[in-house]
């Protein structure tokens, strides 16, 4: 008999940016350390089909999955916490739901009917969740609902949850509300009114929370939590405290110490074995024991939002942590390098450089200046995707003397298109979901640094790009110090410069598969070289 799945919905109230993705991941970890099979899903109530067409400044990084999904930034948290690869079907957006219902309507599947939000849209939402359930047969489905309670956009989803709550046995469905409990400094006490208002809005949608998790800068005391319980109609023991912690990996244990896992188990009738905390505890103590700081410079465009490079930042931290270091990021506005070439000397102050991915030509000449400076001055550098492509451009221009070499993305009329559009991309005009996306196998050339870092010839990494290295230039690079080190058929996947402390570029995005327990090899290589650079920089200061 198929087991009955348990549905846990995680909703957010009062404000966005509370870390719902982290809490969902932590809740997943809490259940994973107690041997539960999980499927995570995220509902994003926007009309885009996926996050691929959104600006990372507005929405944070686009997270790429093995199956080529361009998903919401929270999927990165899920994978990093849980080590389970996610798939594109797990990110459900309003756009997908309406698209599918409208296609069905055109096919005549609702012939004779008026197609409406209730029941057609809500049925489609429930169907998508049931499909995930059928595909994975998990013990527990954790479903994060994006946005905050009361948003117009999320109402069909709330209605779908209400219907599921009505139809499923009580022990098969649970709603958790993550709320913000402000602590205005001039009053010096926590205020519960915003939470009360959110819960009453939720009630007007026919739902009420089973569990409330209180986010605040500082601990929300028992008296305040009891007040929330009283006004929001949940038991006292179902209101949990979640202040800012030193690291997000402390969240699972912090919630478990308040017995959230036991509460969920009782309420959902789950038989949970005792937790295995070793992995998490080991990680948390490593994080807390880390005091040495490395500076990694990021010449980039999206300097104003840390979320736009979150997987890159995390992968740097994972790599550094294994050596007991922490990374401090220094964002470098490349447009300033373009205005004043000498300003690139700020790179003397960093221990390593990470040139991230990107699109369009703004700031690229500045990035090329940074790459040149790193190459000539032995500063460790890792270039990812666009970073890899610009490293090829820089070398072509300044070492191979191919004047005005460029990527055709930046200059269509360059005399030396060392980077150009992939053949398959030439006839594509739609922008959504049409890049080379997801995981591809890569063959690494032996006796190269990258091969040594991965300790194998065959790897799989994720991609998100339209342009590639132009194979008609291979010969020009052949006898130079720039080695092409990884391939997918004839497509170049990685390069390195011989004789440099660390100068590596990858067309793929290794950061998407990095976890604190499994740091990504190219990032590990950068960090190892940056630690050496840091020691050298410090010695130089003292002579
Ligand atoms: N814009 C480049 C391309 O499309 C690089 C993409 C990226 O950095 N993700 O190929």
- pLDDT per residue as tens digits for the range 185-216: 998 999 999 999 999 999 999 999 999 999 99
Once rounded to an integer, what is the mean pLDDT over residues 502-513?
A: 98
Count CB-CB contacts under 10 A for residue 207: 20
305 plus 263 within the same structural domain: no
* Residue 425, pLDDT score: 82
% the chain with pLDDT above 90: 84
Residue 350 domain boundaries: 291-541
Asked if 187 and 311 sit in the same domain, the reply is no
Identify whether residues 239 and 326 lie together within a single domain.
no
**What is the token pair recorded at 260?**
């959230």
CB atoms within 10 A of CB 249: 22
Number of structural domains found in the chain: 2
For residues 442 and 496, membership in a common domain is answered with yes
Index of the ligand 1 atom closest to the CA of residue 467: 10
Confidence of residue 56 (pLDDT cuts 50, 70, 90): confident
Specify the pTM.
Answer: 0.94
CA distance 432 to 333: 28
Q: Is 359 in the pocket of ligand 1 (CB under 6 A)?
A: yes
Cβ-based neighbour number of residue 518 at 10 Å: 11
**By alpha-carbon position, which residue is closest to atom 5 of ligand 1?**
386
CB 516 within 8 A of CB 80: yes
**Residue 245 and residue 160 share a domain:** yes
Note whether 301 and 271 are same-domain residues.
no
| 214 part of the active site | no
Q: Is 385 part of the annotated catalytic residue set? A: yes
Distance 534 CA to ligand 1 centre (A): 30
Task: List the 352-355 sheet strands across, edge first.
Answer: 325-333, 292-300, 352-355, 381-384, 503-506, 491-497, 482-488, 436-444, 458-465
pLDDT band, very low/low/confident/very high, at 299 (cuts 50, 70, 90): confident
Residues 319, 277, single domain; the answer is no
Which atom of ligand 1 has the smallest separation from the CA of 509? 9
Answer with the one of 262, 282, 302 that is the final residue of a domain: 282
Asked if 287 and 247 count as a contact pair (C-beta separation under 8 A), the reply is yes
From 253, 282, 311, the end of a domain falls on: 282
Closest CA to 199 of 171, 223, 175, 172: 175
Q: What is the pLDDT at residue 339?
A: 85
The reply to whether 276 belongs to the active site is: no
Residue 542 is predicted with a pLDDT of 60
């Amino acid at each position: 008999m198929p087991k009955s799945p348990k549905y846990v919905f995680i909703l957010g109230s009062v404000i966005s940016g509370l870390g719902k993705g982290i809490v969902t991941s932590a809740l997943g970890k809490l259940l994973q350390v107690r041997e539960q099979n999980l499927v995570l899903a995220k509902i994003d109530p926007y009309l885009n089909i996926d996050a691929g067409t959104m600006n990372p400044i507005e929405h944070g990084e686009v997270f790429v999955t093995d199956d080529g999904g361009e998903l919401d930034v929270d999927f990165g948290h899920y994978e990093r916490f849980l080590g389970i690869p996610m798939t594109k079907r797990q990110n459900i957006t309003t756009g997908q739901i309406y698209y599918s219902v409208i296609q069905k309507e055109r096919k005549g599947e609702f012939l004779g009917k008026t197609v409406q939000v209730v029941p057609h849209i809500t049925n489609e939402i429930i169907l998508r969740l049931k499909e995930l359930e059928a595909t994975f047969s998990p013990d527990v489905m954790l479903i994060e609902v994006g946005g905050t309670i009361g948003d117009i956009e999320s109402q069909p989803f709330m209605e779908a949850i209400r219907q599921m709550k009505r139809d499923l046995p009580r022990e098969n469905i649970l709603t958790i509300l993550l709320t913000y409990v402000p602590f205005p400094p001039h009053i010096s006490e926590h205020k519960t009114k915003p939470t009360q208002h959110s819960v009453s809005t939720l009630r007007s949608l026919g739902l009420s929370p089973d569990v409330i998790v209180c986010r605040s800068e500082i601990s929300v005391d028992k008296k305040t939590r009891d007040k929330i319980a009283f006004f929001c109609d949940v038991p006292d023991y179902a209101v949990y405290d979640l202040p800012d912690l030193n690291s997000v990996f402390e969240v699972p244990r912090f919630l478990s110490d308040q017995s959230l896992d036991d509460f969920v188990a009782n309420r959902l009738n789950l038989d949970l074995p005792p937790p295995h905390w070793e992995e998490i505890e080991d990680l948390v103590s490593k994080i807390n024991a880390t005091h040495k700081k490395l500076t990694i410079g990021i010449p980039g465009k999206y300097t104003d939002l840390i979320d736009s490079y979150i997987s890159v930042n995390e992968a740097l931290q994972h790599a550094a942590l294994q050596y007991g270091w922490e990374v401090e990021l220094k964002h470098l506005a490349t447009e300033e390098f373009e205005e004043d070439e000498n300003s690139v000397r700020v790179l003397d102050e960093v221990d390593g450089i990470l040139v991230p991915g990107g699109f369009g030509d703004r700031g690229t000449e500045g990035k090329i200046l940074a790459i040149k400076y790193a190459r000539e001055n032995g500063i460790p550098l890792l270039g990812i995707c666009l970073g890899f492509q610009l490293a090829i451009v820089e070398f072509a221009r300044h070492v191979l003397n191919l004047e005005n070499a460029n990527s055709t993305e930046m200059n269509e009329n360059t005399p030396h298109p060392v980077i150009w559009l992939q053949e398959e991309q030439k006839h594509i005009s739609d922008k959504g979901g049409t890049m080379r996306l997801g995981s591809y196998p890569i063959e690494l050339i032996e006796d190269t640094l990258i091969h040594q870092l991965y300790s194998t010839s065959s790897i799989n990494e994720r991609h998100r790009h339209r342009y590639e290295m132009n194979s008609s230039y291979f010969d020009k690079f052949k006898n130079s110090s720039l080695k092409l080190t990884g391939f997918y058929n004839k497509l170049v996947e990685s390069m390195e410069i011989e004789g440099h402390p660390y100068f590596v570029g990858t067309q793929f995005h290794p950061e998407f598969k990095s976890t604190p327990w499994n740091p990504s090899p190219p990032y590990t290589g950068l960090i190892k070289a940056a630690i050496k650079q840091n020691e050298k920089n410090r010695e130089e200061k003292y002579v």
